């Protein structure tokens, strides 16, 4: 029997490493429309978040692994957030595990009911297959979240654009302020 080295390493404090790992970076210029207003003090190339992933072929039964690193950026006081999505394949659930930082996991069901779970080091989140999900960094350090999801889940972003999350999250000092979105947005 052979005992071999793993092809991937994910030190809990770092990003996953191995030749199958890919990284995508979300810059402010591609995230402007997530926020209530444009922050002229932010450079277009400000890094908002990176997603490291190990992806399988999109087939039932296969799994993806990922790490999202949310930078501690505020957009006119509004906390940095991911675009957010439903899964295209509504049978596919997901786990999020927070390895660093503090934040909120915003969830929304198909009726548009929206709520958040607190995220902090060690918090584990089971995302039901029919819930939209978005990460929000409410801290002044990186928020790092490990995810595992089915390879055939896909991302439905359009549904969020048309009937998006109904709340916005801002930070004022240590206080987290939640505001309902304006209906004309």
CA dist 45 and 107 (Å) reads 28
104 touches ligand F6R by CB under 6 A? no
CA dist 184 and 57 (Å) reads 40
80 touches ligand F6R by CB under 6 A? no
Minimum distance of Zn ion from residue 91's CB (angstroms): 13
SS3 for 78-95, per residue? EECECCCEECCCCCCCEE
How distant, in Å, are the alpha carbons of 54, 62, 76, 126, 157 from that of 150?
12, 6, 35, 13, 17
Residues 67-126 that bind Zn ion (CB under 5 A): 94
Considering only residues 78, 79, 82, 136, which one is a binding residue for ligand F6R as defined by CB under 6 A?
Answer: 82
CB-wise, 68 or 138, nearer to ligand F6R?
A: 68
CA dist 169 and 179 (Å) reads 6
Question: Which 8-state DSSP code applies to residue 33?
Answer: G
x/- mask, ligand F6R, residues 10-49, rule CB under 6 A, reads: ----------------------------------------
Tokens 């092809």 locate to 7
Considering only residues 10, 83, 125, 144, which one is a binding residue for ligand F6R as defined by CB under 6 A?
Answer: 83
User: Which chain residues interact with Zn ion by CB under 5 A?
Assistant: 94
Question: Interface residues with ligand F6R (CB under 6 A)?
Answer: 51, 66, 68, 82-85, 94, 133, 135, 147, 149, 153, 155
């Amino acid at each position: 029997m052979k005992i071999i080295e793993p092809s991937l390493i994910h030190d809990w404090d770092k990003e996953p490493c191995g030749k199958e790992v890919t990284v995508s970076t979300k810059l402010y210029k591609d995230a402007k429309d997530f926020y209530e207003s444009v922050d002229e003090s932010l450079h277009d190339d400000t890094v908002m978040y990176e997603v490291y992933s190990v992806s399988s072929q999109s087939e039932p039964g296969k799994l993806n692994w990922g790490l999202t690193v949310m930078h501690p950026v505020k957009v006119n006081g509004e906390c940095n957030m991911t675009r957010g999505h439903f899964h295209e394949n509504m049978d596919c659930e997901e786990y999020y595990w927070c390895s660093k930082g503090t934040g909120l996991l915003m969830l929304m069901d198909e009726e548009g009911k929206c709520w958040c779970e607190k995220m902090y080091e060690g918090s584990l989140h089971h995302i039901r297959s029919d819930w939209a999900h978005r990460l929000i960094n409410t801290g002044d350090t990186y928020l790092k979240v490990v995810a595992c999801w089915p390879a055939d889940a896909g991302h439905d972003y359009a549904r969020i654009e048309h009937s998006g999350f109904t709340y916005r999250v801002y930070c004022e000092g240590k206080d987290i302020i939640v505001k309902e979105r304006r209906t004309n947005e």
